[in-house]
Structure 1
Amino acid sequence: MRIGLAVGHFDPQVGGSEEVVKRLATGLRDRGHDVVVATGADPRRDAARMVVPVHEFALRGNTVYGVSGDGVAYQEFLRATDRDVWLFYAAQIWSTDLALPVLDAIPAATVVVPCGYSGLDVPDYATYFGRLPAQLARADALVYMSKAYQDWENDERAGLGSRMRLIPNAASDEEFAEAPARTGRPDGGRLVLCVANHLPDKGHDAVLDAFRRSAGPRDRLVIVGNRSPQRSELGEWARCRWAALRDRRVTLAEGVPRAEVVQLYKDADVFLFGSRIECAPLVLIEAMAAGLPFVTTSAGNARDYADAGIVTDEAGLADGLRTLLADPALRGRLGARGRERWTQQHRWSDVVDAYAALFEEVVDGRAAAASAGPVVPGPR
């Protein structure tokens, strides 16, 4: 198949959406499909290092707060590019928002992955979500990561059930193939890990507060994440930097190679996550793949994984962390359950296969509809 994947940001930018689409692109390519990515321009991008061809557009924003750049050129690209299917990853960003009004004009089959609807209860988005069901009804399929989150519930109420499919997020088979053997630190301290870029809603302040209140003098907190390129959001990183200067147990790790991030998952004793807005947190699945128990807020569909960690509100993060740090046996049981869940439900090889099967389904459906021809009304 000739497959197009559209996403607001892509490699070399690091984040959940970027990682998911990169994994999809790589897995589909390895299965013999012709894959391209449409995404935002990035001066750091080296075309020779991309896993598939990348088409860049100097676009930013969304249709609620405004899109900067030539959106018409992007829409024309979608109409003119020879693809069997296009996947649009995440609502509320230009790459999907600009595609929704022209879905009927795209000759390929179309699949939309809403990714949570973080603005669903924001007044500025009222008009956006008011017209969204009619736009999504023009897509051939819609993909959700969980039935227990607001995007699924909202669209099911809107009557889109016949188009809705459930495909979860995943973690890499290769990166987490071997179960880690945690031997502990020589000084008896515990390693607490948080992986989250320094964005306003990632809750680093809650993570730092929980660690200060619950950890011992020999424990360490490593926060892996990149600062935002947006000047208005640099304060999030600065606050974490100041906290690390005041507490020598806290380390900020920026620009960390992927292999080192994976090793940290395998070396850590507890994963601590304080995010306030999520859809299906990829980092929790990566923690489960590493057999790493977690303490997390209930953002997104985190409660789907409550048998592999402690899911609580923000105020309960400190108590949850204290509980896991004090109980090695509990950490072992929760970590083993998370590893089991990853093996059974959240391996990238299985998820890519699910997307490939869905693409075949919608492409075949388009072909069957075209061969049947127009519907002729019968006699009254």
Structure 2
Amino acid sequence: MKKILLCSEFYYPQVGGVEIHNKILFDYFKKNKFKVYVATSFNAKRLSNNNIFEFKIKGNFVRGYSGETKRYQDFLIKENFDLIFFNAAQQWSFDLALPVIENINSKKILFPCGFSRLGNYFYFPYFKLIKLKIDYFDEIICSYKTSRDYKFLSEIFKKKIHLIHNGSEKIVKRYNHKKIFRDFKIKPNTQVFMNVSNIKFNKGQERVISLFDKIPHENSILFLMGQNHSSFYFVYIKILIFLFNKKNKGKKIYLLPPNNIIKQKLYSISNFFLFGSRLEYDPLVMYEAIVSKTKFISNDVGSCKNVINDNYGLVSNDDDKKIQYILRKIKTNRVKNLSVKNFFWDTICKKYFGVFEKYLK
């Protein structure tokens, strides 16, 4: 039975785009009878799992490393996986592989996830190293052609770069909307807005609150769902919510901890997803919003402009345009019967299998 290793800085129970992406791939390939393993950072909250190799490592090429760096490099060289998939650059599980990449006999696939530091002066030596080492990889997967990782790699990588966008799980259950409204104590005919993101500065929750504040529709509610990182920014967001709720009667904001079932329920009743992120690649929540037919309102970040059209939502850096779009959609209140099957993870994973397949025979 062929062995696949998925490498990422973090993994479940931590929650984020890369973590969910790797978990989806893990479950898909395991279901298809492959031996699948994950290499990631140690997490004291993680239950023991023979398929997860944990390393007490922090850092990256530029910031420097601490921890079990040699143990990880030896692991990549000696374990003889048939295929290693590196999910995201600019973090230790990929960066530590670069110096020893020529000694890793496994087939190697890179999903760079954006190269957000490309152009940063401190990262010049890093991207120079990538140029020297990139052809030791067998395949590269990017999400879209206009991304900076695709543009950079297409000039230096001698083989084909595959384009596979992210996706969403299917919303299996048909929830009772009236019951959900009762459970959340939402009045009838309320416009429901939502946001799902880890609570940190780059995710821009304060932008979401600001936009929601400007929408002239009193009978509205906003749910912010995100993980508490015990940061100054999290405290700041809680203060903004407190002040907002104190001055508003018809509009309210609620902060919820991550919960997949509640998230699914929110998608099923929400009219709009407000996205304030400052830094993205191909955000998973965008595809979740599309699949749930929740209008996705976003700044021009990552792949959003490539995917979102008037049927799915609006991408603009102009808040006035966003408000006009929201008010227009509230007034028409029509949901088109859009085809979303190309955004399901089942479809996306088959594309990954198409890339991986020749190395797993």
Percent identical residues? 25
Residues 47 and 53, structure 1, Cα contact 8 Å, conserved in 2 = no
Distance 1:329 1:179 in 2: 25
1:82/1:192 CA distance change after superposition, 3 Å: same
Task: Report the equivalent of 2:256.
Answer: 253
Give the structure 1 partner of residue 22 of structure 2.
21
1:201 maps to 202
CA shift, 1:120, in A, is: 1.0
Q: CA deviation at 1:187?
A: 3.6
Aligned amino acid, residue 222 of structure 1: F
Structure 1 residue aligned with 2:352, among 351, 355, 359?
355
Q: What corresponds to 1:55 in structure 2?
A: 53
Equivalent position of 1:224 in the other structure: 225
- Counterpart of 2:279, as a letter, is I
Divergent runs of 4+, >4 A: 178-185
TM-score (norm 2): 0.90
* One of 267, 270, 273 as aligned partner of 2:272: 270
Flag the 1:331–1:43 CA change in 2: closer, same or farther, 3 A: farther
Q: 1:266 Cα deviation (Å)? A: 1.4
Contact 1:140 1:362 in 2 (8 A): no
Check the 8 A contact 2:4/2:35 in 1, yes or no.
yes
* Kept after mapping to 2: 8 A contact 1:171/1:282: yes
Secondary structure, aligned partner of 1:4: strand
Q: How many residues align?
A: 346
Give the equivalent residue in structure 1 for 2:116.
118
Shift of 1:54: 0.6
Alpha-carbon distance between aligned partners in 1 of 2:261 and 2:277, rounded to the nearest angstrom: 23
Mapped partners of 1:36, 1:139: distance in 2: 19
* One-letter amino acid of the counterpart of residue 240, structure 1: I
3-state SS, counterpart of residue 8 of structure 1: coil
Does structure 2 retain, via aligned residues, the 8 Å contact 1:295–1:321? no
SS at match of 2:353: helix
Equivalent position amino acid for 2:267 in 1: Y
1:38 touches 1:54 (CA, 8 Å); kept in 2? yes
Instruction: Identify, as 1 or 2, the structure richer in helix.
Output: 1
Structure 1 alignment gaps of length 5 or more: 365-380
How far has the Cα of 1:311 moved from its partner?
0.4
Q: Which amino acid is the alignment partner of residue 357 of structure 2?
A: E
The CA RMSD measured in Å over matched residues stands at 2.1
**Contact 2:135/2:158 (<8 A) preserved:** no
Pick the aligned partner of 1:79 from 77, 80, 83: 77
- Report the CA distance shift for 1:332/1:31 in structure 2 as closer, same or farther (over 3 A): farther
**2:136 match: secondary structure:** coil
